[in-house]
Amino acid sequence: MNILNTPFATPYNTAPFSKIENEHFLPAFKIAIDEAKKEIDAITASLEKPSFKNTIEVLEFSGQQLDRISSIFFNLNSAETNDTIQKIAQEVSPLLSEFSNDITLNEDLFKRVKAVYDIKDTLDLTVEQQTLLDKKYKGFSRNGANLPKDKKQQLRTIDKQLSQLKLKFGENVLAETNNFEMLITDESELSGLPEGTIEAAKQLAESKDKEGWLFTLDYPSYIPLMTYADNRELRKKLAIAAGKKAFKGDELDNQKNVLDIAKLRFERAQLLGYKTHAHFVLEERMAKTPQKVEAFLEELLTKAKPAALREFSELKEFAQQLDGIDQMEKWDSAYYAEKLKQKLFDLDDEKLKPYFKLENVINGAFLVAEKLYGLHFEEITNIDRYHDDVLTYKVTDEKGDLVSIFYADFFPRPGKRNGAWMTSYKPQYVKDEINERPHISIVCNFTKPTKSKPSLLTFNEVTTLFHEFGHALHGMLANTTYPSLSGTSVFWDFVELPSQVFENWCYEKDALELFATHYETGELIPMDLVQKIKDSAAFHEGMQTLRQLSFGLLDMSWHGINPIGIKDVKLHETQAFEGTQLFPDVAENCMSTSFSHIFQGGYSSGYYSYKWAEVLDADAFEFFQEKGIFDKEVATKFKDNILSQGGIEDPMVLYKRFRGHEPQPDALLKRAGLVEK
């Protein structure tokens, strides 16, 4: 029997990574799909009158084996992939898409769900049960259950095509990232680069039997070079290479994939009776409509643009005075911004890094979680890992009860996509009176330890770790009955609140004192440096806001219109960026072809949610600041009303229960220095 289709005889029911072979996956998926189909057939064959218990609840807990296999497989496809896994993904994705359609287009099943939905007001349901019933009904109605037969077939075809296109898009971006290498053999070209970056580049070259220093498009390699390299030509070469990923007219080009994905999403929305893909998506978001999103983005743009133009003008003047730069280019931005930041705040990321040894920062996140929510983290070695780099922890509460299993994976490698994310290997839910605890994972790409130095994080990487850990807390502290409403299963523009709010502790003296000690001397980070971190937090916030808004506007430009008329990806993108552009355009670059968030991930029509969640997070953290950043009462309110509640109620209801009022943008604008405090 396939190991993936049997109960795992492992500690805490964890995934048995060491026993799973690639060839197990495809047969396991097929068996699990068949099992899930039988479970659905049992619901539709029932002679009992449809009820919440025999239809909605049974449907909710069907396909659990399939969900588990999917989470293991697709998490590996992101964090530890190879050619075989990618090939399996191309085969499996259409099968899963087909199965999903088999459910949502199953007329007999929909009839039973609708029968329960139609009498919902007469049923004595809890709030969570009402939400689940609404979600199940909409899962059908929003995915074609009310369509005639021919349109249902059309929908199936579109969904199958989309699942394959999104995978292909992501594979091309990963291949492009892995394919680029820049070998430097002249040591003088390394001028300005931090010692740790030079050592890491040397080690990378050695690992590939090359003489010199090797740089790639992985963030720990790319960011330091763009920020510190004095050699402008090197910065230019690397920036252009990053910007033209999947935009070269070769077999890894994503232009056609972008156009096809946008058009198919539009066709799908139209088929279901929505004006655009954005109208379809936003119906299930806090924002509700594209108009609301566009108004939100425009309002922030109005507030941020004067500050951004002022900051850009100062940066241009600074680069001109320092190095006689007449025309600022994109590859100058991080370099001169870092130099200006050092001048204004006497704050150099390299001076900060010794205080942010990775192990200490992890411990710091744990200590903050302990002080706020009473959690305890213990590293364990008795569970399987999918790679030697992965750390594993048992998380318990103040009573010693299991809260979660936690995986942490911090370093880049060829089989791992760029960026940082949180995910889950097993959701939390309650079944047969047992509260099943979740298995949560965070994945990042930080600088690896070298022969002479441990992994030392930039301050930006510290906030990234805290951000993903904030998502992890949302997953770990979940306490709902139903898996589809648990943890991060919330409206997309609410999901970033727990992650973004947790970043705030990185700027607070009381939190930094818990973990920011020099890796060699053990000396606590000097408080004048902490003050400088706080003072510089709003540095170039206008330009940063403009950049985020440009991505949100680009997203809406693909998904908030009929894209059929778009023939040229680059031209369309240039027009979308018109109101937010500061730097001259780079002809050979295009962002859309590697904009994985919206063309592969789940952020289509949702990129605005980062800024939306910033409004929520600034407003929420203001509450902590009023009472004290470790105030138990506020922390408990946040845990009880936000972190543990998942998606059991409308997020605005949950937020108001925590905060006492709707979120106000003033806190964000003040924090960002875009209005007077």
- Please list the active-site residues: 468
3-state secondary structure 642-670: HHCCCCCCCHHHHHHHHHCCCCCCHHHHH
CB of 204 closer than 8 Å to CB of 221: yes
Give the C-alpha distances (Å, rounded to integers) separating 341 from 197, 347, 359, 479, 533.
20, 7, 27, 43, 11
H helices of 229-289, in order, are 232-243, 255-271, 277-282
**CA–centroid distance for 22 within its chain:** 26
Residue 404 backbone phi and psi in degrees, to 5 = -165, 160
Label the pairing between strands 376-379 and 421-426: unpaired
Token pair of 523, please? Answer: 């000396």
Q: What is the 3-state secondary structure (H, E, C) of 324-358?
A: CCCCCCHHHHHHHHHHHHHHHHCCCHHHHHHHCEH
Tally of residues, the chain: 677
**Residue type (1 letter), 197:** T
Q: What are the angstrom distances between the C-alpha of 122 and each of 111, 119, 481, 650?
A: 18, 6, 22, 21
Tokens of 177: 């990232």
β-strands 439-443, 421-426 pairing: antiparallel
Q: How far is CA 1 from CA 4, 31, 76, 88, 380, in A?
A: 9, 10, 22, 20, 29
For Cα atoms 466, 423, 550, give the angle at the middle one, nearest 5 degrees. 65
Task: Enter the tokens of residue 465.
Answer: 């770790």
Residue 180 has a CB neighbour count (10 Å cut-off) of: 17
**CA torsion angle for 556, 560, 564, 566 (degrees, to 10)?**
-30
